[in-house]
Amino acid sequence: MTGVFCLGISTLDYVYSVETMPTRGEKYRSKGLAVVGGGCAGNASVAIARLGGCCWLATRLADDLTGDQIVADLAGEGVDTRFARRVPGLRSPVSAILVDAQGERMVISYSDPEMPEDTDWLPTALPDGARAVLTDTRWGEGALAALRLARQAGVPGVLDGDRKPPHPDLVGTASHVAFSAQALRELSGEDDPRAGLIRIAREGPTWLAVTLGQEGVLFLEDGAVAHMPAFSVEAVDTLGAGDVWHGAFALALAEGQGERSAIRFASAAAAIKCTRFGGRAGAPRRAEIEAFLQDRGAPG
């Protein structure tokens, strides 16, 4: 079975549904609560598994009860957690997240600053069946090591650029980078995402894109900036949608789809997720995406 080797952060999320975002130091009531695994790489790995791909997740956790819950949840979704490192005496990553009536979210996250940065425990080759690599930006040295494994194996190496890359070689080592608007702006110095893509493209041959939520995706194609609109849905919860997008995109590349087809597939996965509350709990199955695409046709 075709799969993706993922590396990055995995968390435990406490997701609260609220009518509006708090603006003052008062008591507020939540009308819904989901306690679910989260994190860029954690969410992406679950998305890949639900879409029928193999997924291995390399992540750094503490040897605590939170870490136990994170690993159990991932394993329950079919993610291979053999590369989850457990460090004694620290705390595993957690987040408190508010989701308002419009589906927008506010995230307060904690990652233990003492978590080791070394990479010598990572595999020296990709697992059998891994046909792509996906990393986030939370652990720069680890992401660089994983992307080098992708180059070594001659498979796509995808960087989820949701934050400005912490290592100067990450973008150039990846074969594909999909930025958030903020990360692209910070890295390129350009307010216009089209100009930002063009500026970064001057630095090397890496395929580049930027995800813009309901405004769709801008990406480089034949030396020019192309645009694919988002699918129109009624958003309930946008938490994890970008992570689901990256997981679906990486799996599509692993399966041999071209970039334009992979964007369409990933955009459908993210759109379906946005219609459901509870972070990655709303990540779709393969049959749902196929039915969605058959019904919707092209995005827009």
CATH number for the domain including 43? 3.40.1190.20
pTM for this entry: 0.94
HEC states along 115-144? CCCCCCCCCCCCCCCEEEEEECCCCHHHHH
For residue 82, tell me if it sits in a domain: yes
Q: How many domains does the chain have?
A: 1
For residue 117, tell me if it sits in a domain: no
Half-sphere exposure of residue 129: CA atoms within 13 angstroms, side-chain side:
9
CA 272 to chain centre: 15
Enclosing domain of residue 194: 3-18+32-112+128-296
What pLDDT is stored for residue 300 in this prediction? 55
What pLDDT is stored for residue 299 in this prediction? 66
For residue 139, tell me if it sits in a domain: yes
The answer to whether 177 and 154 have CB atoms below 8 angstroms apart is no
For residue 24, tell me if it sits in a domain: no
Q: Is a pLDDT exceeding 90 seen at residue 292?
A: yes
The answer to whether 217 and 227 have CB atoms below 8 angstroms apart is yes
For residue 122, tell me if it sits in a domain: no
What pLDDT is stored for residue 130 in this prediction? 98
For residue 256, tell me if it sits in a domain: yes
For residue 26, tell me if it sits in a domain: no
What pLDDT is stored for residue 298 in this prediction? 66
